[in-house]
Chains A and B, each alone.
Chain A
Amino acid sequence: EVHLVESGGGLVQPGGSLRLSCAASGFTFSDQNIDWVRQAPGKGLEWVGRSRNKAKSYTTEYAASVKGRFTFSRDDSNNSLYLQMNSLKTDDTAVYYCVTVSGTYYAFDSWGQGTLVTVSS
C-alpha cells in the first residue's frame, strides 16, 4: 500500500526558510514522479510543482508563484522527497501535500496527510 508522510511544517517569519519532507513507502520510489500541492487556509488547491523520477533524470517543474524560491530534491536511498522553501512570504501559508503521479496515465494517485506551514511575524 502506498503511504506518504509529510513533515517539517511550522511557523516561520517572512523571508525565512523551511524544508519539508515527504517520506514514502509501498512503491519503488526512484520510479515515481511526485508532485507538491498546497492549500491556503479556507481556500482551494494550488499545484506547487513536480519532481520527476530517475528515468526522467530527476527534472522538475515549478509553479510561477514559487519558481526561484522553492527547490525539490530527493533521496532515493531513503525514499524521501524534500521541498526547500526560501524567501517565504505570508502568501505561502498553507497545508502542503505530496502526491504520487501515475506513470501510466499521469494523473494524481495517492496523497499524504499534509503538513502546515505558517509564515507570519
Chain B
Amino acid sequence: DIQMTQSPSSLSASVGDRVTITCRASQGISNYLAWFQQKPGKAPKSLIYAASSLQSGVPSRFSGSGSGTDFTLTISSLQPEDFATYYCQQYSSFPLTFGGGTKVEI
C-alpha cells in the first residue's frame, strides 16, 4: 500500500496568512493526488485533483503543486472560512489512501 504522510499535523495561522501543507507519498504516484477540506461535523469537500487542478467553485486562493512523491497545498491568503482540516489522497493505485490530515487553526 502507498503511505501518504502529511505535515504538519496542525498549524496556527491568522487571516491573510499564506499557508502551505505538504504531502509525501511512499512511492511515485505521478500526479494522481487530490486534496480535501473538512469542517467539523461536515462531509469532506473536494478541492483539488490531479495535483494542481481546482474543482469547480473552489476559490483561486487555493493551489496545488507537485508530482511523483512530493506535493503541496497552498492557501495564498487565509480566510475565516478556511479554518478546517485538510487531507491529501493518492488515487494512483488501490487501495486508495489518505494522509493523516492537517488541522488549520486560528
Contacts and interface: CB of A to CB of B under 8 A. Distances in A.
B36 A108 contact: yes
Contacts of A108: 34, 36, 46, 49, 89, 91
Interface of B: 32, 34, 36, 38, 43-46, 49-50, 53, 55, 87, 89, 91, 94-101
Interface residues of A, number: 22
A31 interface: no
A45 interface: yes
Main secondary structure on A side of the interface with B: strand
10 contacts: A44-B98, A45-B38, A45-B44, A47-B89, A61-B94, A61-B95, A107-B34, A107-B91, A108-B91, A109-B55
Nearest to B56: A109
Given A105-B53, A107-B49, A107-B50, A113 B43 contact: yes
